[in-house]
Amino acid sequence: MLQQFLNAKLADGSLADLTVTDGRFSAIAPAANNPASLGAGAIDLAGQLVLPAFVEGHIHLDTSFYGDAWRPHIPCTNGFDVRERVAFQMQNLEQAAPMEERARNQLELCIGNGSLAMRSHVMVDAAVGLKHVETILAVREKYRDLIDIQLVAFPQSGILSSPGTAELLDEALRLGCDLIGGLDPASFDRDVKGHLDVVFGLAEKRGAPVDIHLHDGGTLGLFEIEEICARTKALGMGGKVAVSHAYALGDISAEALAKAGEMLAASGVSIMTNAPGNHPFPPVAALRKAGVTVFAGSDNIRDSWWPYGDGDMLNRAKMIGYRSGFYEDSELEAAYDVVSHAGARALGLEGYGIAVGTKADFVALRAEHVPEAVVAVPKERTVYRAGREVARNGEVVDSVGLTGLRSA
Ligand SMILES: [Zn+2]
């Protein structure tokens, strides 16, 4: 099947006509300004900026309350404490709407805003077993024509602290999770080696990439990052390992950061940040300059961890730019890169971008150029999956048959 899109403004400012054949760009030519010469049914984008669909690099489809009742945030008793937050989450989830419904709400929010590739962590522990994994795997299957989803088997309650979790993680990978996750090996399990032995052991056994939640700060967190880099190198897993949050990189000396950047780049370990509230976070510009792939995600959307999140990765780029003090055009373009091309690299996506041969997954919106899109975050936008319109102005369109999907 062939589709044509006329007068698309590309990121370099040029106007182009795009041809899509069987879901991929088959031709990109300077705009002809002659609609008559092009096939009937061509869509005139009238100079809208065309960007590859955004990459949601870190989200939790199983634990959000988006679209469910509002859950007031419960503060920790004595500063941020992962273990206490997990306990709050368990309490909240007991009263929540069915997981499938909440996951769908969140997925449609992300698709509506233009993310068509996603990495979601899914909780696995001795208490919930594989229940979350089974539910989210089924949801992924239903939405496969709309969005590509990678699932991380995520030990939310630690591995050694939650006996039986290692076996459950292995089973989660066997059932269809793509990656093996981890959680603060030092502060949560109090055994960096023991925790990482399980994570990288399963990675090796199942040929699965790794994405580890690391909130530990300062030299402790840095030590864990060093251990993760060393194991990545030893297993030849460069490009297949990510550290999510890596707060430590935001509160170490410039000298230590420079060394860490070099080490991360050399071992091929990428860093995910969501530019969180008032917390130190990885310095995006310095890491990018060192050659580190920095990508982004919404992380929590209206869940037991915080009330924020809107599933809009363009808005996330704005937050990253805002918190990083990015003012220049090149810096705003870097913030955009974090939610698009760098995300695609971190997730190992095939056929990403606007070029002949890539997948025609794109967003059209009204902005003069990428820097303006990052600061203005236009909510009016059209989202195309394989050249087919799937969402408009934040809503998944009826023509994708979601009603049937919902009742299925
Ligand atoms: Zn997370």
- Delimit the domains of the chain by residue range: 2-52+352-400, 54-347
Write the pLDDT tens digit of every residue in 128-178.
999 999 999 999 999 999 999 999 999 999 999 999 999 999 999 999 999
Cα-to-centroid distance, 215 and ligand 1 (Å): 10
The residue type at 230: A
- Alpha-carbon distance 356 to 25, whole Å? 5
- 3-class secondary-structure state, position 322: helix
Give residue 330 CA to ligand 1 midpoint distance, Å.
29
CA distance 182 to 106: 23
Which pLDDT belongs to residue 405?
A: 62
Burial class, 91, CB count within 10 angstroms (exposed 0-12 / middle 13-18 / buried 19+): exposed
Which helix (H) or strand (E) is 101 found in, with range?
helix 99-113
DSSP state of 89: H
Give the bridge partners for 218, in sequence order: none
What distance in Å separates the CA atoms of residue 59 and residue 297, rounded to the nearest whole number?
A: 6
Q: Are the CB atoms for 66 and 306 separated by under 8 Å?
A: no
Provide the CATH number for the domain formed by 54-347 in this structure: 3.20.20.140
Q: What angle do CA 377, 382, 387 make, to 5 degrees?
A: 135
DSSP state for residue 129 in the 8-state scheme:
B
Residues with CB under 5 A from ligand 1 (ion): 299
Q: Examine the pLDDT at 263 and tell me if it is beyond 60.
A: yes
- pLDDT per residue over 186-239, tens digit each? 999 999 999 999 999 999 999 999 999 999 999 999 999 999 999 999 999 999
Neighbouring C-alpha atoms within 13 Å toward the C-beta of 343: 31
CA atoms within 13 A on the CB side of 77: 4
3-class secondary-structure state, position 165: helix
Kindly list the distances between the CA atom of residue 169 and the CA atoms of 207, 313, 339, 392, in Å, as whole numbers in the listed order: 13, 29, 28, 38
Q: Residue 21 is which amino acid?
A: T
Residues with catalytic roles: 245
Q: What percent of the chain has pLDDT over 70?
A: 97
Residues 32 and 17 sit within 8 Å (Cβ to Cβ): yes
Q: What is the pLDDT of residue 36?
A: 60
Length of the chain: 408
Class of 2-52+352-400 per CATH? mainly beta
Asked if residue 408 has pLDDT above 90, the reply is no
pLDDT for 33-62, tens place per residue?
A: 775 656 678 999 999 999 999 999 999 999
- How far, in Å, from the CA of 364 to the mean position of ligand 1? 29
* Domain 2-52+352-400 matches domain 54-347 at the CATH topology level: no
CA distances to 13, 144, 360, 384 from 24, rounded to whole Å, are 22, 17, 5, 11
Query: How much is the pTM?
Result: 0.96
Separation of 38 CA from ligand 1 center, angstroms?
A: 46
Res 295 pLDDT > 90 = yes
Residue type, 182: G
CA of 60 from ligand 1 middle (Å) equals 6
pLDDT given at position 404: 62
Tell how far the Cα of 154 is from the centroid of ligand 1, in angstroms.
9
